[in-house]
Amino acid sequence: MAPGNALDLPWKIERQPGWRWLFAALLLAVLASLVLAFAPLNTQETVSGESEPRPSATVEPDSAPIGAKVRTDRLSLVQSEGWRMAWILTIPVVVCLIPLLASARMRRPLAIGAAALLGPAIVVTGLSIGPYYLPSEILMIIAAFRVRAPARRNGHAEP
């Protein structure tokens, strides 16, 4: 590795075109998953005297009894849905990680496949968690066009 390079990876990924796009897509997917899992994005309101809290959309100002207190809590997805939601949020991260871990020859087809998986997932999840992964999808599409197979010499790929 050249002395000026800051990234010292165990494999020769830094010399292959397009790997930075894949790495950036992975970092954005990790960031989106962390924000979705732990940022207080959900609102939950509890009316005093009720046994079960209900989402804020179901509490109307006139529906609470007179003199009842309404308490509003901000919860993360992990707090409101449990740790199974954290496991679900790792799926886009794994999809973005697979092309980086693959051999140079398989990197482009896997980047195309990852982009093909992330796109419909973003559309299906629509207005909930999908838009958080849109930057990763854009970078994965760019990476799919930028990643190239290694040059061949005498019928064999370069190491």
What local confidence, expressed as pLDDT, does residue 15 receive? 61
pTM above 0.85, yes or no: no
- Mean pLDDT, rounded, for 91-101: 94
**pLDDT digit string (tens) for 33-78?**
999 999 888 777 777 765 555 555 555 555 656 666 777 888 888 8
Neighbouring-strand partners of residue 15: none
- Domain borders along the chain are 13-39+81-149, 42-75
pLDDT of 102 higher than 80? yes
Task: Report the C-alpha gap between 32 and 151 in whole angstroms.
Answer: 35
Higher pLDDT, residue 75 or 114: 114
Alpha carbon of residue 156 to chain centroid:
36
- End-to-end, the C-alpha distance of the chain in Å comes to 14
SS3 of residue 33 by DSSP: helix
pLDDT of 84 higher than 80? yes
- 35 touches 153 (CB < 8 A): no
Tokens encoding 138: 């854009």
